[in-house]
Amino acid sequence: MTDTESGTGRSRNSKHDTPLWDEDKVLALLELPFNDLIFKAHAIHRQHFDANEVQLSTLLSIKTGACPEDCAYCPQSARYQTGIKAEQLMAVDDIVTAAKNAKRDGATRFCMGAAWRNPKDRDLEAVVEAIKRVKAIGLETCATLGMLTADQARQLKIAGLDYYNHNLDSSAAFYREIVSTRSYDDRLQTLDFVRDCGISVCCGGIIGMGETRIDRASLVVTLANLPVYPESVPINMLVQVPGTPLHGAEKPDAFEFVRTIAVARITMPKAYVRLSAGRDEMSDELQAWCFFAGANSIFSGEKLLTTGNATVAHDQSLFERLGIRPQTE
Ligand code: SAM
Ligand code: DTB
Ligand code: SF4
């Protein structure tokens, strides 16, 4: 890809030495004939990765429900009646047991999620302990705890945290329609703190919230143009949970989801692009298209945070049918 093809001329994303993107260029990709787009994405995928290997991460909700934020997609917000039972922060021993099970089932990364706007310093101490013990099992660690201060990010880094997940979820313009209790800039600020202290960034979004193709292009442009683009880019299909404002939202064309994965792959060639939430409702064929378009990571395990996921047995059989190997380290 030359500078001229990619859009804005000489500016480059510093770490990966890739061109900066603009919305028109990404929109043009999204509008390509499907075969042209997927061919392009798959070719780029092969330049950087083994096309038959997929990384497995396992999620655990270490603190569930009663979240003060109002994210319209989320079953854990205290504002919506979703039937989720609020729970305190889990005991570190129980977190470690779940991590051992995840490793036994083939995961190489363990992601601990908490329904917080931001962690309190006292809570962070327990998370730090959990990170150290999960790492000691031989798993990569990831946490998603909401907004962080620079000092909290440093504490997580010192604990040995490998990845911090903090999604931008959609375009800046559409974000205002789905979350009112924090801003896009708040999200970007936390991402800066995480990046600056040397933790790898996991950041992506959700498809199917009623956003337009322009919103999807804008999200991808924002991600790809970060000073260093994320090492891990989760692309979630909205899991519609009764009681949340987005329950009943119109479902996007499945090919649009594949297209979004493809543009993430093209614009962030060295990132792990994760086919994230929503797999339980996807056909095997749709998942296969996502892998072909450049997805090379999944959430493995029977639960995401609070909702169901494809079973480990089903994933193993799908991988076998497709000749895909789980990444081993
Ligand atoms: N509270 C923290 C935060 O919001 O950053 C961490 C946990 S939060 C549940 C992590 C991410 O899960 C959200 O940013 C969103 O992308 C994703 N998520 C939540 N509910 C979802 C749903 N119903 N469908 C798809 N993704 C969802
Ligand atoms: C991400 O992008 N998706 C995960 C993880 N990062 C934290 C969360 C999906 C949550 C789906 C709804 C639920 O299970 O509560
Ligand atoms: Fe809370 Fe995170 Fe859910 Fe928003 S996405 S309501 S911050 S748990």
pLDDT digits (tens, 9 = 90+) for 303-329: 999 999 999 999 999 999 999 999 997
Q: What is the pLDDT of residues 49-67, one digit of tens each?
A: 999 999 999 999 999 999 9
- 111 is a catalytic site residue: yes
Rounded mean pLDDT, 13-17 = 55
Q: Nearest residue CA, atom 8 of ligand 3? A: 115
Instruction: Determine the Cα angle at 204 with ends 133 and 9, to 5°.
Output: 125
Residue 16 has pLDDT above 90, yes or no: no
What's the pLDDT at 239? 97
Residue with structure tokens 């880094």? 157
Residue 19 has a pLDDT of 61
Q: Residue 329: what pLDDT? A: 76
Q: What is the mean pLDDT of residues 245-256?
A: 96
Query: In the predicted model, what is the mean pLDDT of the chain?
Result: 94
Structure tokens that stand for 160 in this block: 């040995």
Check whether 8 has a pLDDT greater than 90: no
Q: Is 67 a catalytic residue?
A: yes
pLDDT tens digits, 198-250: 999 999 999 999 999 999 999 999 999 999 999 999 999 999 999 999 999 99
Task: Name which of 114, 203, 190 is nearest 151 in CA terms.
Answer: 190
Kindly report, residue by residue over 144-166, the tens digit of the pLDDT: 999 999 999 999 999 999 999 99
Atom of ligand 2 nearest to the CA of 205: 2
Q: Which pLDDT score is estimated for 171?
A: 98
Per-residue model confidence (pLDDT) at position 1: 35
* Percentage of the chain exceeding pLDDT 70: 94
Ligand minimally distant from the alpha carbon of residue 244? 1
d(CA 175, ligand 3 centre) in Å = 13
Q: How far is the CA of 180 from the centre of ligand 1 (A)?
A: 15
24 φ, ψ (degrees, to nearest 5): -60, -40
Beta strand 140-144 pairing with 200-202: unpaired
Ligand closest to CA 168: 1
Say yes or no: CB of residue 74 within 6 Å of ligand 1.
yes
Q: Whose CA is nearest to atom 14 of ligand 1?
A: 167
Match 């003060």 to its residue by tokens: 68
Ligand 3, atom 6: closest residue by C-alpha: 77
Query: Is the pLDDT at 132 greater than 90, yes or no?
Result: yes
Question: Which pTM was predicted?
Answer: 0.92
Task: Output the pLDDT for position 280.
Answer: 93
Q: Which of 15, 2, 18 is CA-nearest to residue 220?
A: 18
Distance separating alpha carbons of residues 294 and 279, to the nearest angstrom: 16
